[in-house]
Structure 1
Amino acid sequence: MSTHSDTMPHTVTDLYQLVYISHITSIGLSGASTLNDIAEASVNANKANNITGILCYGNGCFFQCVEGTEQALTDLKNKLLMDERHKDFKILDFSHIEKRRFKSWSLRSIVLERWLFKDDRVKKLMPFKPYEWSEYESEKFLSLLQEYYEKQENDTVNDTQPIKYNALGLTLNKVVGEHQAFLLIQAVLGALVVIAVLWFLLSTTM
């Protein structure tokens, strides 16, 4: 991914960005407030380490961009690798930048299922499958996130999460929506099995 120029003299050399994707795990899904927990803990830790960035979730995938010193991001990366709430950790970019994209956000989190309906350009990248994206598509998505940030840069409380959400609830809603017929058939078959077992037990006792 390309770096971004700044009008400031090229004196700050230790500013990097880390962009990665990962899949949520069953452990992550089992927590009713996994995404909120991640966001709240990250805001506090990132403030202490002068890290800024954004975290996106959609279709069972995380997409995150964080900015800070090389050492701070390396330490964060090592912690992320140990986090059992996600897997298939893949770094898209870890490089020097001259300017932060999200300088006022210790970490803003976005659920794409809610956000995508507000921007037709984001819709074109849906369903959210970042593992299948080209480098150009990943950079395009990151640029759209930066535009989203710039529109809200004047918010008085920058680190307040825009919505509350439930990772498991979102995932179950998606699954049920896509597989209603299958689930209905399974429910009917299950009911028939229960009826058959009860009929057999009653017939043997008569």
Structure 2
Amino acid sequence: MGRARLAAGDWAQASELLRRALGLWRGPVLADVSDAGLTWPELAALQGLRLAVHEDCIQAELAMGRDRELIGELESLLEAEPTRERLVAQLMVVLYNCGRQPEALDRYRRTRDLLADRFGLEPGRDLRRLQRAILSHDPALALRLTAAPGGPAEFPSPAGPRPEAAAQQPPRPRPVPAAPARADGRGDDRADGRGAGRAGSTGA
């Protein structure tokens, strides 16, 4: 239901329902199994699903303009999942909308370095596009809009809509950071061929 309300553009109801769903979780998923050092694909999938729901909730609240309220929550999530590109993108947008452009760009640089060190990979295409949009002060970044859950990630190109054009008509849905959750927690399936890392290395 929460994701359906998100897809319909009902941000407040989506936020309420998704927060309620997140509240049903009690501690780590299958804590007794993970404490024993066992790793199951189902465990990783459940963890990825929980994180994806959290990202969808943040999507709805970002669309409502709750930027400052989301900074601490996003930073906390990224401590556990620092290479999750959807979370990184959401935090970059929030920081930019709060007038903290240097911090948004620094987060991009830190993520790029971490991806290179851990996996020999560059940031995904969408995260690179977001960085360029921030550098060019794309006016589309100020729109409080979101994509349907599970939809393709899409960021504004540097040549975004002019502010005067946006003021003449209601804004149409334009996705902010969204990427399908992966079982390994990365949040990006790299379907566009980004699997090739730097100097021909591959992800671990």
Where on the TM-score scale, by shorter chain, does this alignment land: which range?
A: under 0.3
Give the number of the structure with larger relative contact order, counting CA–CA contacts within 8 Å between residues 6 or more apart: 1
The structure where strand makes up a greater share of residues is 1
The structure richer in helix per residue is 2
Give the number of the structure whose alpha-carbon radius of gyration is greater: 1
TM-score, with structure 1 as normaliser: 0.26
